[in-house]
């Protein structure tokens, strides 16, 4: 079998727009992309390696430049042939949905992997391990597929006006977009359309998934993120549509928000995060909302959990808390709603169904800065930024660390340092490594496990830094003062 024949086999298996009669047409279409010299290229053992072979022969035939972006654009163009049209994808999805949401999402998720939109090989390079802490097992991931972002860059990007087409990576206009050297190839990208609160929204999977079935729900319009009563209503409507998924929103302010503040969107998926397993440690009485059970969650960040079978009352209770938090100040613990006319308070909300009831976790956020903490008073402080300096967004809030790729090599050098071996220790880790050398005894047998535990402890500290009300006597007393207001 040739590489062209194998690719056509994949196309026919995934895309009902084509049949056996189209083989000659598809052969010529593929040859136009990679060069006629590929006609007799032997097939590779699996479809993704076969795709690599076709891309490499295109480079050899000078059909494309030998650059990463050019290769990714061609990959997507080739896999676009294996992907049904947007209208057909939507038709099949909603047809399968009639037999259950899981049947529809399973189909769409598998298609998104099979057509290489979800970058399964890049995701497989990520390093993942659990870390036991007083808050339960946190999830540590070292992201080997995407570069680390600087919080200042994220904040600046949120202020940029629409400077091109598509306006951002989340816009619906990315569906089928060829790509360029500073914008990802999306020829094989498809988006499910649905109505949410009377507006058209889209549902897609993340190409670089951080957890199982990492989904993105996005507004049809390119509008900035905002947290308000509509947010809570939308989140609960989505888990009605997809009851096996959680769904949450990043906060809508720089520093405490996610990496994409310019386009309204939520994230969800089929994963139970550590925060969802955390228990309520202090029950609260919301007298105006008798059908809502409320409490403070035992978690390093400041979380109020609301549970109810009454969706409307739950939404109203959440909005009640959000409004009070938006204007709440407690100078004793550096909590200030507004300084110099700038608003600082917002919420990171997460919704899911638990035992047939709606559960909504509200994580209180404050994006103040100070001379002492220029990156953010409630942001990872300088002494832990050697591990994590990026914004603490939705996924980290829930207990899954997304750490930069540099740590793969840097932690190996830390290990060598602790084992008294020749090393190239990055100076940013020196203080931490010296502390670890005193805290544990180190040998080849225990070094990896102990270092993972140590990274987990740093991530727990990162979350504590991001927590508005600290988990000490002063902080918890302040948290209860706020709860008295609600």
Q: What is the pLDDT of residues 419-473, one digit of tens each?
A: 999 999 999 999 999 999 999 999 999 999 999 999 999 999 999 999 999 999 9
Of 63, 82, 101, the residue that ends a domain is: 82
| Residues 322, 373 within the same domain | yes
Determine, yes or no, domain membership for 176: no
Burial of 281 (0-12, 13-18, 19+ CB in 10 A): exposed
Provide the 10 A C-beta neighbour count for residue 312. 11
Does residue 99 lie in a domain region? no
Residues 6+ apart with CB under 8 A from 152: none
Structure tokens belonging to residue 396: 């980290």
363 shares a domain with 298 = yes
pLDDT at 98: 98
In a domain, 120, yes or no: no
The answer to whether position 334 is within a domain reads yes
List, for residues 238-247, the tens digit of each pLDDT value. 999 999 999 9
Q: Is residue 36 located within the same domain as residue 161?
A: no
Question: Any idea what the CATH number is for the domain that residue 238 is in?
Answer: 3.30.428
For tokens 């319009």, the residue is 221
- What is the average pLDDT score of the chain? 95
Digit-coded pLDDT (tens) for 115-172: 999 999 999 999 999 999 999 999 999 999 864 445 654 565 455 454 589 999 999 9
Percent of the chain with pLDDT over 70: 96
144 by Cβ neighbours in 10 Å (0-12 / 13-18 / 19+) ranks as middle
Is residue 102 included in any domain, yes or no? no
Structurally, how many domains does the chain consist of?
2
Assess whether 163 and 54 both reside in one domain. no
Confidence of residue 257 (pLDDT cuts 50, 70, 90): confident
- Share of the chain residues as helix, strand and coil, in percent rounded to the nearest 5: 40, 20, 40
**Least confident interval from 58-62, 153-157, 233-237, 464-468:** 153-157
The domain in which residue 265 lies consists of 125-168+191-400+469-485
Do 24 and 164 sit in the same domain of this protein? no
| Separation CA 72–CA 373 (nearest Å) | 40
Structural domain includes residue 87:
no
Q: CB-based contacts of 466: which residues, under 8 Å, 6+ apart?
A: 256, 300, 301, 365, 378, 379, 380, 392, 396, 397
Q: What is the pLDDT of residues 328-345, one digit of tens each?
A: 999 999 999 999 999 999
Helix residue spans in 132-249 (DSSP H): 151-159, 229-241
Q: Beta strand pairing status for 303-308 and 293-297?
A: antiparallel
Judge if 304 and 220 occupy the same domain.
yes
| Residue-level pLDDT at 174 | 97
Say whether 300 sits in a helix, a strand or coil.
Answer: coil
Instruction: Give residue 123's pLDDT.
Output: 95
Q: Is the pLDDT of residue 221 over 90?
A: yes
The answer to whether residues 266 and 217 touch, using CB atoms and an 8 Å cutoff, is yes
User: Whole-model pTM?
Assistant: 0.93
Tokens 């008294």 locate to: 420
Whether residues 76 and 148 share a domain: the answer is no
Statement: residue 258 has pLDDT above 90: no
134/240 same-domain check: yes
């Amino acid at each position: 079998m040739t590489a062209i024949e194998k690719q056509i086999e994949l196309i026919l298996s995934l895309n009902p727009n084509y049949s056996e009669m189209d083989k000659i047409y598809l052969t010529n279409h593929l040859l136009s992309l990679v060069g006629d010299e590929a006609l007799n290229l032997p097939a590779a053992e699996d479809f993704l390696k076969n795709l690599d072979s076709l891309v490499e022969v295109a480079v050899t035939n000078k059909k494309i430049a030998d650059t990463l972006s050019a290769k990714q654009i061609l990959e997507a163009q080739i896999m676009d042939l294996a992907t049904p049209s947007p209208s057909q994808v939507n038709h099949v999805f909603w047809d399968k949905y009639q037999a259950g949401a899981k049947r529809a999402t399973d189909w769409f998720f598998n298609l998104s992997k099979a057509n290489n939109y979800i970058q399964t090989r890049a995701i497989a390079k990520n390093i993942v391990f659990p870390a036991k802490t007083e808050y339960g097992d946190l999830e540590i991931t070292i992201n080997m597929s995407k570069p680390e972002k600087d919080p200042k860059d994220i904040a600046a990007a949120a202020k940029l006006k629409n400077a091109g087409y598509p306006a951002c990576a989340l816009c619906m206009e990315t569906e089928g977009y060829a790509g360029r050297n500073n914008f990802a190839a999306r020829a094989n990208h498809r988006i499910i359309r649905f109505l949410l609160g009377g507006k058209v929204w889209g549902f897609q999977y993340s190409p670089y998934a951080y957890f199982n079935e990492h989904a993105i729900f996005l507004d049809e319009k390119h509008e900035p993120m905002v947290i308000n009563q509509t947010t809570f209503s939308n989140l609960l409507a989505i888990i009605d549509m997809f009851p096996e998924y959680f769904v949450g929103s990043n906060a809508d302010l720089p520093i405490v928000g996610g990496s994409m503040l310019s386009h309204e969107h939520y994230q969800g998926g089929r994963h139970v995060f550590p925060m969802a397993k955390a228990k309520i440690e202090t029950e609260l009485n919301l007298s105006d909302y008798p059908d809502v059970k409320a409490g403070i969650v035992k978690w390093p960040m400041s979380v109020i959990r609301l549970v109810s079978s009454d969706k409307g009352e739950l939404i109203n209770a959440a909005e009640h808390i959000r409004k009070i938090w938006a204007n709440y100040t407690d100078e004793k613990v550096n909590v200030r709603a507004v300084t110099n006319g700038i608003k600082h308070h917002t919420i990171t909300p997460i919704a899911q169904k638990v035992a047939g009831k709606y559960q909504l976790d509200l994580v209180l956020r404050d994006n103040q800065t100070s001379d002492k903490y220029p990156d953010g008073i409630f942001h990872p402080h300088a002494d832990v930024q050697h591990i994590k300096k990026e914004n603490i967004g939705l996924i980290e809030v829930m207990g899954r660390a997304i750490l930069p790729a540099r740590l793969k090599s840097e932690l190996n050098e830390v290990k060598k340092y602790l084992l008294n071996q020749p090393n190239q220790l990055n100076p940013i880790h020196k203080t931490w490594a010296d502390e670890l050398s005193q805290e544990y005894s180190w040998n080849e047998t225990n070094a990896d496990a102990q270092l993972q535990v140590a990274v987990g402890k740093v991530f727990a500290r990162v979350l504590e830094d991001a927590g508005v009300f600290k988990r000490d006597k002063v902080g918890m007393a302040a948290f209860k003062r706020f709860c008295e207001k609600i």
